[in-house]
Amino acid sequence: MDILVVLFFVFNVLAATILGGKFFSKNDNYVFRSFGISLLLNAVAFAIWSFGVISPENLLPSVTLGAIVFLISLVFLFYTSIQNIQSALTRKLLMLLGIIIVIGIFYVGNTDPSQAYISPEGFLFFNLGPLVQMLYIFVLSLAIFPAIDLVASKFKSPYATIFRYGVIAEVCGGIMLITSRDAHALYITGWIICLVYLVLLGVFTLNSKAWSEQ
């Protein structure tokens, strides 16, 4: 067990919880609240994966349970992205489609023979098959990029820009965590994810102007 890997997971849990809680606390804004829920669920997923890293004998069930929570977070991201659609019926139909797609991805992923493992360097490799990787990346991108644009549109410059590119950087880092099997690349990616989270936390949890100038 590598202490830096454990600290990375713990930091992600704390950062996503704090940032998600901040967005969730905006009771008058459905876009912020649903985005906050997705971040809080992401924190739960990382907490579950953290347990798997700390307790390798429970790794596989932890990865599966964390994947379920992560997929649910994508549903809330998708819900965030369709908030500008005026028709309630259209939103409901799109949400139903999103839920069906997420269930389908879990089914395909659950039948994939690949198994997660912890490398000698202490890194968690999800070891997803090419098809499952493709599905996760496609659905993550389709859910989060429209959501990023919509949430960013609620802020004024420069906060909109910081949010947009900060979250995009986190998404790119997440894709690297899913796809890469190179320890050096994951080490660099981990530092980038943590540094970007520190910027987002500083701007959106310690700076009241980001919210007062919407």
CATH number of the domain encompassing residue 25: 1.20.1070
**Quick count: other Cβ atoms within 10 Å of Cβ 132?**
21
Which two structure tokens, joined as six digits, stand for 115?
A: 């198994």
The Cα 213–Cα 118 span in angstroms is 45
- The reported pTM is 0.91
| Domain housing 92 | 3-212
Once rounded to an integer, what is the mean pLDDT over residues 52-68? 89
Q: Which of 22-36, 103-117, 143-157, 193-207 has the lowest mean pLDDT?
A: 103-117
Q: What is the pLDDT of residue 204?
A: 94
Partner residues linked to 124 by β-bridges: 118
Are 16 and 43 contacting, i.e. CB atoms less than 8 angstroms apart? yes
Which two structure tokens, joined as six digits, stand for 10?
A: 């713990």
Which amino acid is located at 107 in the chain? Y
Averaged pLDDT of the chain: 89
Which two structure tokens, joined as six digits, stand for 23?
A: 């967005």
Once rounded to an integer, what is the mean pLDDT over residues 170-179? 91
Per-residue confidence band for 164, with pLDDT thresholds at 50, 70 and 90 = very high
> How many domains does the structure of the chain reveal?
1
DSSP the chain: --HHHHHHHHHHHHHHHHHHHHHHT-TT-HHHHHHHHHHHHHHHHHHHHHHHHHSGGGHHHHHHHHHHHHHHHHHHHHHHHTTT---HHHHHHHHHHHHHHHHHHHHHHHH-----EE-TTS-EE----HHHHHHHHHHHHHHHHHHHHHHHTTS-TTHHHHHHHHHHHHHHHHHHHHH---HHHHHHHHHHHHHHHHHHHHHHHS-THHHHT-
Q: What is the pLDDT of residue 117?
A: 85
Once rounded to an integer, what is the mean pLDDT over residues 66-85? 92
Q: 3-24 vs 30-54: helix axis angle to the nearest 10? A: 160
Question: Would the pLDDT of 213 be above 60?
Answer: no
Q: Which of 10-14, 65-69, 126-130 has the lowest mean pLDDT?
A: 126-130
Quick one: which of 177, 167, 136, 204 has its CA closest to 8?
Answer: 177
Question: Would the pLDDT of 174 be above 60?
Answer: yes
Per-residue confidence band for 113, with pLDDT thresholds at 50, 70 and 90 = low
Which two structure tokens, joined as six digits, stand for 200?
A: 């987002």
